[in-house]
Amino acid sequence: MENQNINTAAITLVGLSVEYCRVVDAAPETEPQAFLREVLRYLPRFYVTLTDLSDRDEEPVENDTIYQILDEDGYNAARESMATLFGEFDVYLDTPVEDMRYSDTPVGVSLSEQLADIYQAVGDFAGTVRQIPAEMIPEVVDDMLCRFNQYLSDTLCSALRAANSLYQSKTLTHE
């Protein structure tokens, strides 16, 4: 029964992943404010879905079952298209960044890079699930949960905060 629940949750996560990747892929043709609105729909849903998947008795096991689907060119194209949308507002100060603790100067973080990191993680996950037999899904989910625990949860929260701030300020509205 647990594998069936994992498979159902994985299908939900795959659906979110595919939708988010479509939003990122359409960034060059999207108005900045509309793009941010779409991003803000997905980031919290990823966090909740992955947290729900984490809520089980056994710890996830990192097993390198997620294939690298998105190559460097695809990652850079996504990052650059989002950086163009955000312009001078792409880089922001993020105090939880580890480097900030040891620095006398502020440390800038790129929102487009964070969103591209999420794009790569969820795109690789969705692409892997499409290519594997159903019995391997729990292993792939475990691998995704390890990534979530190691870095993706922080990236999601940081990007959500920055995207929300930019969206709410309406700085990128061209009216």
The pTM of the full predicted model, rounded to 2 decimals, is 0.90
Print pLDDT tens along the chain (175 aa): 455 566 677 889 999 999 999 999 999 999 999 999 999 999 999 999 999 888 776 777 778 899 999 999 999 999 999 999 999 999 998 765 555 556 666 678 999 999 999 999 999 999 999 999 988 998 999 999 999 999 999 999 999 999 999 999 998 886 4
Q: So what's the pLDDT on residue 54?
A: 83
How far, in Å, CA of 87 to CA of 83, rounded? 6
Q: List Cα–Cα distances, 149 to 40, 125, 156, 159, in angstroms.
A: 21, 15, 11, 16
